[in-house]
Amino acid sequence: MKSKILYLPVILFLLPEIIIAQKVYSLNDCIGTGLEKNFSLLITKNSEAIAKNNFSLGNAGFLPSIDISGKQGGTLNNNTVNMSDGSQTISKGQYSSNLSAGVNLGLTIFNGLNVQTTYKKLNELKQIGELNTQLAIENLVADIISGYYNYIQQIQLLKNLQYAVTLSKERLRIDEDRYLLGSSSKLQVLQSRVYLNSDSTNLSQQNEVVRATSIRLNEMMALENLGQQFVSKDSSIEVNNTLLYEKLLEETLSNNTTIKISAKNKTISEYDYKLVASHYYPYLNLSSGYNYSINSFKKSDTKSQITDGLNYGLTFGISLFDGFNQRRNIRNSSLSIETNELRYRETEQGVKADLITFYSAYSNFLRLVTLEEQNLQTATENQEIAMERYKLGNLSGLELREVQKSLLDARESLLSVQYQAKLAEISLFLISGRIMDYYK
């Protein structure tokens, strides 16, 4: 009794860690945690912030540039003057100091609409940054959902193998009882033990698969303790069987993020063409400034000299000939527009092809789920009948093993097609821009 009391404080001390280690996660919890902490997503958000910062009037060239400068210096000279009559005048230690300061302003008045086009391009780049973040979010959410249901699948496979071990233990018990009664051979007992050991090995390996799946989920959620035990709130895989191809196609063409990014790249190439074409136009720049300087002299008739004043000017120019480089740039920009148009069409076609592929798989797996459910029901009834016959001695051990294996295979096949159907469903939601429907 005393030893139990001594261990009680230790148990109470470890209890909070045990409770934390067994936190139950719903799919919503997993998605929310991943969106908040995932490192890859945070990196993408920083890139979006950079593109957002670059979208400014100053970066486009709308605003003037203003510089302030100042300088202080001096000279210390020795002068020797030789006259034509042969005389010589020597001055040593002639010192003078200089202090100057100025403010200069520069402003582009016109450069072929280059500034306005640059501003529009920066806006498109900002929107691409937002779309890249959206795409990263969608892919992360899809990965988390897939990982979550994969974990459920692996847990169910683990339970299936645990059931296999239970069946093998029951069979071994029956054979050992028969052997003791003299109605069965030692060979039958040994064979049952082999089956039990094989099932136990499979169970142990599946435990490692479950742990690896749990670690992967923790990694996507960027949990500090990657080895933390993961427990899912859900225990089964439910597939949405109401998706319609026509509606998905409409949503895909209007909401797919990859298509939107491709469209933005096409628009940017058009702005690049305008930027190149702007060099054909003349440019007009304004410059202005105010300067102040003071020179001080020693050992001179002049004590100091002060100069201050305003300067201004307009610079007008136009490029007449640059070795045909402008013509080459125009042609290349035209080809870039054509290339991005082709990429847009290619992207749209690829997305449509993926949609057809995913929907075909989705429909096929839904049919397979129904068939596998029927198969499992039949296999369960067969196993119950076979076990009763085996207890009565009307069925061989090999036949019983085959019936049990059929049951386990039926359960595994059902879990597999349910998960594959779920993956197809997730892919359809992702490609149609509806993946965030899972996060409620």
pLDDT tens digits along 77-134: 667 777 777 777 776 766 777 888 889 988 888 888 899 999 999 999 999 999 999 9
Same domain, 160 and 299: no
Same domain, 293 and 411: no
| Residue predicted with more confidence, 337 or 184 | 337
Residue with tokens 């069965």: 184
Same domain, 257 and 126: yes
Residue with tokens 């020797």: 80
Last residue of a domain, one of 317, 333, 362: 317
Q: Quick check: is 351 in a domain?
A: yes
Same domain, 258 and 140: yes
Please give the residue range of the domain that contains residue 411.
24-55+111-282+324-438
- DSSP code, position 63: S
pLDDT of residue 18: 43
* Structural domain count of the chain: 2
Judge whether residue 11 has pLDDT over 80: no
Q: Quick check: is 184 in a domain?
A: yes
Q: Residue 72's closest CA among 112, 39, 100?
A: 100
Judge whether residue 356 has pLDDT over 90: yes
Q: Quick check: is 427 in a domain?
A: yes
pLDDT of residue 226: 92
Assign 194 to helix, strand or coil: helix
Q: What is the CATH number of the domain that holds 138?
A: 1.20.1600.10
Assign 292 to helix, strand or coil: strand
Q: How confident is the model at residue 299 (pLDDT cuts 50, 70, 90)?
A: low
Helices (H) and strands (E) in the chain, counts: 10, 6
Judge whether residue 139 has pLDDT over 90: yes
Q: How confident is the model at residue 353 (pLDDT cuts 50, 70, 90)?
A: very high
Same domain, 216 and 151: yes
Q: Residue 60's closest CA among 123, 131, 105?
A: 123
pLDDT of residue 302: 64
| Residue predicted with more confidence, 154 or 111 | 154
CB burial string 327-348: b at 16+ within 10 A, e below: eebeeebeebbeebeeebeebb
Give pLDDT tens digits for 221-248. 999 999 888 999 999 999 999 999 999 9
pLDDT of residue 80: 72
Same domain, 263 and 305: no
Same domain, 294 and 392: no
Q: What is the pTM of this model?
A: 0.85
Q: Which two tokens stand for residue 327?
A: 């013509």
Same domain, 274 and 289: no
Last residue of a domain, one of 273, 300, 317: 317
Same domain, 223 and 344: yes
Judge whether residue 324 has pLDDT over 80: yes
Same domain, 243 and 350: yes
Q: Quick check: is 3 in a domain?
A: no
By mean pLDDT, which of 203-217, 309-323, 364-378, 404-418 is the weakest?
Answer: 309-323
Task: Give me the sheet containing 65-82, strands edge to edge.
Answer: 65-82, 88-110, 283-297, 304-317
Q: Quick check: is 61 in a domain?
A: no
Give pLDDT tens digits for 237-291. 999 999 999 999 999 999 999 999 999 999 999 999 999 999 888 989 989 998 8
The 3 state secondary structure assigned to 74-125 is EEEEEEEEECCCCCEEEEEEEEEEEEEEEEEEEEEEECCCHHHHHHHHHHHH
Q: Quick check: is 416 in a domain?
A: yes
Please state, rounded to an integer, the average pLDDT across all residues of the chain: 88
Same domain, 298 and 385: no
Is 371:308 a contact under the CB 8 Å cutoff?
no
Q: How confident is the model at residue 394 (pLDDT cuts 50, 70, 90)?
A: confident
The span from the CA of 434 to the CA of 431, in Å, is 8
| Residue predicted with more confidence, 57 or 16 | 57
- Give the helix/strand (H/E) hosting 25: strand 24-25
Q: How confident is the model at residue 348 (pLDDT cuts 50, 70, 90)?
A: very high
Same domain, 413 and 377: yes
